Amino acid sequence: MGDVLRVLVVDDNDDDVWITTEHLAAGWPTPIRFARARDGAEALAMLSAERFDLCLLDHHLGRESGLDVLRAARARGDDVPVVMLTASPAHTIDVAASEAGADDYLDKCRVSPEALEHAVRYARVHREHVETLRRQNKALARLDREKNLLLGMAAHDLRNPIGVVRAYAEFLADNGDDMDGDEVRSILRAMEQSCAQMSGLIDELLDVSAIEAGTLVLQEKPHDIVAVIESVIADLAPIAGAKQITIELAAVPMPHVNFDRARFEQVLANLVGNAIKYSHPRTGIRVSVERAGEHVRVAVEDHGIGIAPEFLPRLFTPFSRAQRTGTSGERSTGLGLAIVKRIVEAHGGSIEVTSRRGEGSTFAVLLPIA
Ligand SMILES: Nc1ncnc2c1ncn2[C@@H]1O[C@H](COP(=O)(O)OP(=O)(O)O)[C@@H](O)[C@H]1O
Ligand SMILES: [Mg+2]
């Protein structure tokens, strides 16, 4: 025996109610529980008080129109499947009923167990499709808003370095003849730096959008994870050295782990890069590698500025940053962690953060070993 179908019949005429319920009960394969409303107000009250699988709605409710009742229900977001019943030939109201949010309509003089069974079945499937479309539209609208936001922030972040390059270019055009080689070279270097900053931002932006669009393709192979971490730390040593920050690696021998080497290096460079950027000079950073069950846990621990608890929920959102620069004025885009999280998750892993303001932070990545 199947589930009970909960049906609300909205009709002011007792005879009509009797006929439709008898026919539906005869045509529907599972048990039905009927409830009845006599007018629009009662129908709307019952629909909001209880969940129905179906509403059989009369077109003429005394002096009220069933269409108005239906519009009111849909306007407040009611998603009950509705079959509209009419005493006039159905084709005179079909378009209006459909526009008001009916899922099917049926001529009262054509009501039979088969016709009702068909209409109810069709109406329920139709409502499901409508609701799916509505959900997908909502999700698309949200994605669209996020894209616009991302674009707006990228444009904003690009405007600064472009302004710098332009100002220098103008300056050179106006005064280049009177300047000596060293002056010109130092301006060109500043221009080059601004360009590097812009292309860095664009690379990150392309990463975020590739990942978001699902076009990030991983080339996973077994690697000696400790060796890879060592090489990333070696690459970053000069930047750490400039702030007199030491990086210690604490690792035990590990089985080979499956990952995309370039992407994992990007993850680690971002985490260690952040640790350097948000640490004070002459402090230490510790990178540890250990086994945690079926995962390898790579943690980057710093004794830097820490992260405020209220900022933690936004940490991995593109372009979110707690301050505009690092402790020595390093540049910040707010894209690194958004990329990190998505890469880690694409590997079937996860990332966790613990941090105390003014004391330091630990970012731990968990990657499945197999
Ligand atoms: N180790 C850390 N210590 C303190 N704050 C951090 C650390 N890592 C990240 N943050 C905060 O999270 C923000 C986002 O980090 P990220 O996405 O890597 O952007 P960016 O490095 O460009 O600032 C940073 O701007 C900073 O406010
Ligand atoms: Mg970063």
> What separation in Å is there between the alpha carbon of 339 and the centre of ligand 2?
9
Q: CA-CA distance, 33 to 13, in Å (whole number)?
A: 19
Distance between CA atoms of residues 273 and 317, nearest Å: 18
Q: Is 86 in the pocket of ligand 1 (CB under 6 A)?
A: no
In the sheet with 360-368, reading across from the earlier edge strand, the strands are 246-251, 284-292, 295-301, 360-368, 350-356
C-alpha 239 – ligand 2 centre gap (Å)? 14
Distance 337 CA to ligand 2 centre (A): 6
Q: Output b/e per residue, 42-70; b: 16+ Cβ within 10 A.
A: ebbebbeeeebbbbbbbbbbeebbbbebb
Residue 91: predicted pLDDT: 77
**Is any ligand 1 atom within 6 A of the Cβ of residue 197?**
no
| Best mutation site among 204, 272, 277 for ligand 1 pocket (most ligand atoms within 8 Å of CB) | 277
Burial, 278: exposed, middle or buried (Cβ in 10 Å; 0-12, 13-18, 19+)?
buried
258 alpha carbon to ligand 2 midpoint, in Å? 24
Residue nearest to atom 8 of ligand 1 (CA): 274
Residue 261 alpha carbon to ligand 1 centre in Å: 23
Inter-helix orientation angle 261-277/336-346, to 10°:
140
* 326 CA distance to ligand 2 middle (Å): 10
- Residue in 272, 278, 302, 311 to alter for ligand 1 test, most ligand atoms within 8 A of Cβ: 278
* Ligand 1 touching residue 278 (CB < 6 A): yes
**Number of Cβ within a 10 Å radius of residue 188:** 13
Ligand with minimal distance to 319 CA: 1
Burial class (CB in 10 A: 0-12, 13-18, 19+), 309: exposed
Helices (H), the chain: 14-27, 40-49, 66-75, 94-100, 113-175, 181-212, 225-242, 261-277, 336-346
336 in ligand 1 pocket by Cβ < 6 Å? yes
Q: What is the pLDDT along the chain (370 residues), one digit of tens a residue?
A: 458 999 999 999 999 999 999 999 999 999 999 999 999 999 999 999 999 999 999 999 989 999 999 999 999 999 999 999 998 876 778 899 999 999 999 998 889 999 999 999 999 999 999 999 999 999 999 888 888 888 888 888 899 899 999 999 999 999 989 999 999 999 999 999 999 989 998 998 888 888 877 778 899 999 999 999 999 999 999 999 999 999 999 999 899 999 999 999 999 999 999 999 999 999 999 999 999 999 999 999 999 999 999 999 999 998 889 888 899 989 888 999 999 999 999 999 999 999 999 999 999 999 999 7
Q: For residues 300 and 340, is the Cβ–Cβ distance under 8 A?
A: no
Rounded to the nearest angstrom, the distance between the alpha carbon of 277 and the centre of ligand 1 is 8
Ligand 1 mutation pick, 274, 332, 333, 363, max ligand atoms within 8 A of CB: 274
Q: What span, in angstroms and rounded, lies between the C-alpha atoms of 10 and 90?
A: 17
- Pairing state between β 54-58 and 82-86: parallel
DSSP readout, 38-93? SSHHHHHHHHHHS--SEEEEESEETTEEHHHHHHHHHHTT----EEEEESS-GGGT
9/39 Cα distance (integer angstroms): 10
Rounded to the nearest angstrom, the distance between the alpha carbon of 274 and the centre of ligand 1 is 6
**Which two three-digit tokens encode residue 68?**
């108005």
Is the CB of 361 inside a 6 Å radius of any atom of ligand 1?
yes
Q: Work out which ligand 1 atom sits closest to the CA atom of 300.
A: 1
- Position 199, amino acid: S
Q: Is 349 in the pocket of ligand 1 (CB under 6 A)?
A: no
Q: What distance in Å separates the CA atoms of residue 223 and residue 219, rounded to the nearest whole number?
A: 12
- Least Cα distance to 13 among 103, 101, 121, 86 occurs for 86
The pLDDT value recorded for residue 92 is 79
Q: What pLDDT, on the 0 to 100 scale, is given for residue 205?
A: 87
Return the best residue to mutate from 202, 303, 332 for the ligand 1 pocket (most ligand atoms within 8 A of CB): 332
CB count within 10 Å of CB 293 equals: 9
